[in-house]
Amino acid sequence: MSIVVTGATGHLGRHVVEQLLEKVPADQITAVVRDEAKASGFAARGVKIATADYNTPETFDGLFAAGDKVLLISGNEFDKGRPAQHQVVIDAAKAAGVALLAYTSAPGSLTAALADDHRATEQALTSSGVPYTLLRNGWYHENYTENLAPVLEHDAVVAAAGEGRVSSAARADYAAAAVAVLTGEGHENKTYELGGDEAWSFAEYAAELSRQTGREIVYNSVPTEVLTGILTGAGLPGPLAAILAGVDASVEKGELVVSSGDLSRLVGRPTTPLAEAITAALKG
């Protein structure tokens, strides 16, 4: 039996593998990667490495074995048809007879275009007959704290979210939930709505940045189309800019507030506060 993690050298995947290493022997972990060189650190610690690509279905042939628990981390190639990419993994998992296929999805309350690929993947997975767990991950602190340069340059947080709130948590928190499912029992055919314990507004985010930097950082709420223009001006492709701006519109409607408590229950501790993520980012 192996625990298999796809996208294992991505931001979330690295956290998952690191936390799995604290709980199970390295030779029970298989890291699925596109670039083997990026996984050399894991290989040196005894993790099995498998090279496969969502865009090349045959690379998944024989990769899974009966009884494996698999974490399908959603792809980030928005322009390449993610549901079809994910279907490759679902088909391979079904053919192998895996014990569980967990998928990192998006909150059930999210109606933004970003959620469309996730809903399509969920439908494919739940109808596949493969035992599944839907990890409906809320927003990550790092979506904001890893992009502080323009905020600090202009002393302004710019978003199209109005007074909407976000129940974000740290990537490591979501990774811990995935690890709990992969190493635990009784998670078959369950759906978990995952988000941070405390929801915050962008005005509060700006206030916390002001407190920690000693500077006056304001929140500028702009219309969705203005934010789309700012993002394309910063070099993002038009379709991706529109998707991200659409998430802000969902935030304004309250769609990224997750109050289930599933995340802290799964990980057995409170989720990481936003203030802590800001501190870490400012130090980095």
Residues 161-210 have pLDDT tens digits of: 999 999 999 999 999 999 999 999 999 999 999 999 999 999 999 999 99
At 41 the pLDDT is: 96
Q: Confirm if 6 and 72 have CB atoms less than 8 A apart.
A: yes
At 80 the pLDDT is: 67
At 69 the pLDDT is: 98
Query: Could you say which residues of the chain have pLDDT below 50?
Result: none
In the chain, the DSSP E strands lie at 3-5, 29-33, 48-51, 69-72, 100-105, 132-137, 156-159, 165-166, 190-194, 200-201, 218-221
Q: Confirm if 179 and 23 have CB atoms less than 8 A apart.
A: yes
At 205 the pLDDT is: 98
Question: Residue 166, SS3?
Answer: strand
Distance from the Cα of residue 156 to its chain's centroid: 26
At 36 the pLDDT is: 94
Alpha carbon distance 48, 24 (integer Å): 13
At 78 the pLDDT is: 67
Region of residue 5 (left: phi > 0; alpha: psi -120 to 50; beta: else): beta
